[in-house]
Amino acid sequence: MGHLRGKLLPPALAIVFSLLLCGVALIISGANPLSAFGAMVSQVGKGTTAVDILNSTGIYYIAALAVAIGFQMNLFNIGVEGQYRVAAVVAAVVGGSIALPTGIHTLVIIIAAAVAGAAWAAIPAILKVTRGVNEVISTIMMNGLAIGLSAYLIRRDVFGELRGNNIRTAEIPESGWMPGISFAGGGTVFGFIFVAIALGVGYWIMMNKTRFGFELRASGESSTAASAGGVNAKKMILVSMLLSGAIAGLISLPELLGRDHTFSLNFTAGIGFSGIAIALLGRNHPGGIAFGALLWAFLDKSGLALDNVGVPREIVTIMQGSIVLSVVVAYEVVRRFELASEQRRVGRELGTVGGAA
């Protein structure tokens, strides 16, 4: 019971704290926080919002899984942002330039995206393994380069074409699309959402039921103990980084295969950083991450309703930021509290043993 409380209390505290904080911010800016939050909740039932939330949850879920694999062994893959951007361009270019039967075409695009993401992650991984370069710095640099590379690849003299005011890659033919589940008037659920769910299940099995997952977690708990137990640290870094990059490569596919069918300037950026926040919120647990992704998606999509009640919807971004920061603080405070009570308990028991002797 106490175990569960230690896990659920911090996120609950963080969300309440962030709600209060944003409520105060709203009151200061002259708005009614209750009507604002009410508008957000009632927005879920309107139009395509519920389906949008579901779609967005799937995308965030993949992003957070990619980050979580690195986190499991204290590897900070800040580069998810760049990895999925590069993968998106490569997948769009590959998908738009080949003609294959339905199904196989989609599969080739998915593989291309995963390989591109892994390749982009391989550079910092190799630098870390061979030259000892800190992965945080190198992945940040790779993020910058990814923006440059994607901008270059969609130039009109490379792979891009001008359509209206927008520069984009050639459209993927229909054989490469992934069908979704359509609700008349309620929007379409991306088919790739089911891939996201499968990824979550696969992640859970890998972490808890395989040798690789055990070695990954062992390296995260204590790298010295793991290497004493025969775990090859360099191999673990390389494999987990590539795996993280490959999953990161899939982030843009729900939109690419299910709606956009092209990479354009309207590309949704910033999901990689949200993924970091969600992985932290969910403590790298597939269930926790699902909850975090849902919360993020709800805040994103329902926030659109705020404009109707005269509140800038960017308050949602503040709420997300403060949730991350307060949840990590809350986890730390709870951990310290439990550590202290554990020490008190041990001390008490030792004290009684000492008194009896």
Partner 1 sequence: MITTLEEKPHIPAAPRKRKVPGWAVAMLGVAGAIALLSITSMQTGFPQLTSSGTTQTAVRLALPILLAGLGGLWAERAGVVNIGLEGMMIMGTWGAAWAGYQWGPWAALVAAVVFGSLGGLLHAVATVTFGVNHIVSGVAINLLGAGLTKYLSTLIFLPLSSNPRQSPPVQSFDTFSAAGLGDWLGELEAGQLLFISDVAGILRGLVTGVSPLTMIAILLLPLSYFLLWRTRFGLRLRSVGENPHAADSLGVKVYFHKYVAVIVSGGLAGLGGAALVLNPGQLSYLEGQTGGRGYIGLAAMIFGNWRPGGLLGGAALFGYADGLQLRSGGETVLALVYGVVLLLGVIVVWQLIRRKWFSAAAAIFVAVLMYLLYISLDEIPSEFVSYAPHMVTLAVLAVASQRLRMPAADGLVYRRG
- The binding site for partner 1 (CB under 8 A) comprises 25, 29, 76, 78, 123, 127, 131-134, 136-138, 140-145, 147-149, 151-152, 155, 273-274, 276-277, 280, 312, 314-322, 324-325, 328-329, 332-333, 336
Q: Is 142 exposed, middle or buried (0-12, 13-18, 19+ CB in 10 A)?
A: buried
- The amino acid occupying position 51 is V
Virtual torsion, Cα 258, 261, 263, 268, nearest 10 deg? -20
Smaller CB separation from partner 1, 16 or 137: 137
Q: Are 240 and 226 in contact (CB under 8 A)?
A: no
Decide whether 205 or 340 has the Cβ nearer to partner 1: 340
Of residues 30 and 101, the one with the C-beta less far from partner 1: 30
For partner 1, which is the closer residue by CB, 151 or 170?
Answer: 151
Q: Tell me the Ramachandran region of residue 284: left when phi exceeds 0, alpha when psi lies from -120 to 50, beta otherwise.
A: left
**CA torsion, points 7, 9, 14, 16, in degrees to nearest 10?**
150
Nearer to partner 1, 98 or 145 (CB): 145
Please say whether the dihedral angle defined by the alpha carbons of residues 95, 96, 102 and 104, taken in this order, is positive or negative: negative
Q: Give residue for tokens 């919360």.
A: 295
SS3 285: coil
Nearer to partner 1, 35 or 175 (CB): 35
Return the SS3 of 73: coil
CB of 149 to partner 1, least distance (A): 8
- Token digits of residue 95: 């998908």
